[in-house]
Amino acid sequence: MAANPMYQFNVYRIGPEIKINNIDISFTNASLFMVISSLAILIIFNLGTKRSIIPNKIQLLAELSYSFISKMISDTAGSKAKPYFSFIFSLFMFVLFCNMFGMIPYSFTVTSHIIVTFVLAAFIFIGVTIIGFIKHGLGYLKLFVPSGVPMVLLPLIVVIEIISYLSRPISLSVRLFANMMAGHTMMKVFGGFVVSLGIVGGWLPLGFSVALTGLEILVAFLQAYVFAILTCIYLNDALNLHH
């Protein structure tokens, strides 16, 4: 059973079945890791709020991540995106911690489930669209009409722009989900090789597994960063209409 590399993505109920109006909202291992990630973020950043002029290690970590994300937002979306800082910060930290907790063996990776990433991406998409319409009214539709395009090509371009805009939540969610799933599957497959090839031939896949672990930690950070920065870029489109 454990040889199946997809087994690690199974969701199972922990504790009793909770149903509200026939809808199953039971506490599962996915919920457990969401709670663990959120608690870890809250604990770490709460420890990092001590008021000292010379920060200790945790405070330094919290302040560095704060300025890192603040710089990322101001670089990509400008100063208008400041009110959305805490949302992007929470988003980045949540995705990062879920990815990182997924790197612990026998744990569960929340972000390797399309439904989780899709809900996040759809929320961002809807939110950004609403912000765009609030800020620019119907003028936000100009986003689909790039300036300097010949009239003949305009219908085609508008269609392409609309499709690309609508595919944002899909590309955003699938990017994160596919990266996490593929990485974890690969690691599981190579782990399976180590077991199946035994003490004689298992060393090479073991080495691969070790290298892949490093790569996956990098990917875990990178995907969280990409997720956050793409959110910033979408927000930038909504806040500063360039076209």
Instruction: List the one residue from 103, 114, 206, 226 that touches another protein (CB under 8 A).
Output: 114
User: Alpha-carbon distance 68 to 63, whole Å?
Assistant: 8
Cβ count near 166 (within 10 Å) = 11
Q: Does 48 bind another protein (CB under 8 A)?
A: yes
User: Alpha-carbon distance 141 to 132, whole Å?
Assistant: 9
Instruction: List the one residue from 58, 66, 103, 135 that touches another protein (CB under 8 A).
Output: 66
Using the 8-state DSSP alphabet, how is residue 48 labeled? Answer: T
The amino acid at residue 228 is A
Q: Does 31 bind another protein (CB under 8 A)?
A: yes
Cβ count near 235 (within 10 Å) = 24
User: Alpha-carbon distance 241 to 243, whole Å?
Assistant: 6
User: Alpha-carbon distance 87 to 228, whole Å?
Assistant: 10
Instruction: List the one residue from 90, 141, 165, 215 that touches another protein (CB under 8 A).
Output: 90
Question: Mask: binding to another protein, 1-30, rule CB under 8 A, as x and -?
Answer: x-xxxxx-xxx-x---------xxxxxx-x
User: Alpha-carbon distance 128 to 122, whole Å?
Assistant: 10
User: Alpha-carbon distance 102 to 151, whole Å?
Assistant: 50
Which range of residues in 140-148, 165-173, 197-205, 213-221 is near another protein by CB under 8 A?
A: 197-205
Q: Does 85 bind another protein (CB under 8 A)?
A: yes
Q: Does 56 bind another protein (CB under 8 A)?
A: no
Instruction: List the one residue from 73, 96, 124, 181 that touches another protein (CB under 8 A).
Output: 181
Q: Does 115 bind another protein (CB under 8 A)?
A: yes
- Both structure tokens of 92: 């980045």
Q: CB of 9: closest distance to another protein in angstroms?
A: 4
User: Alpha-carbon distance 231 to 237, whole Å?
Assistant: 10
Q: CB of 138: closest distance to another protein in angstroms?
A: 30
User: Alpha-carbon distance 182 to 215, whole Å?
Assistant: 12
Cβ count near 192 (within 10 Å) = 16
Q: Closest CB to another protein among 90 and 213? A: 90
Q: CB of 111: closest distance to another protein in angstroms?
A: 10
User: Alpha-carbon distance 192 to 184, whole Å?
Assistant: 12
Q: Closest CB to another protein among 37 and 236? A: 37
Q: Kindly determine how many residues on this chain lie close enough to bind another protein according to the rule CB under 8 A.
A: 63
What is the binding site for another protein (CB under 8 A)?
A: 1, 3-7, 9-11, 13, 23-28, 30-31, 34-35, 37-38, 41-42, 45-46, 48-51, 53, 55, 59, 62-63, 66-67, 85-87, 89-90, 93-94, 110, 112-116, 119-120, 177, 181, 189-190, 192-193, 196-197, 201, 204-205
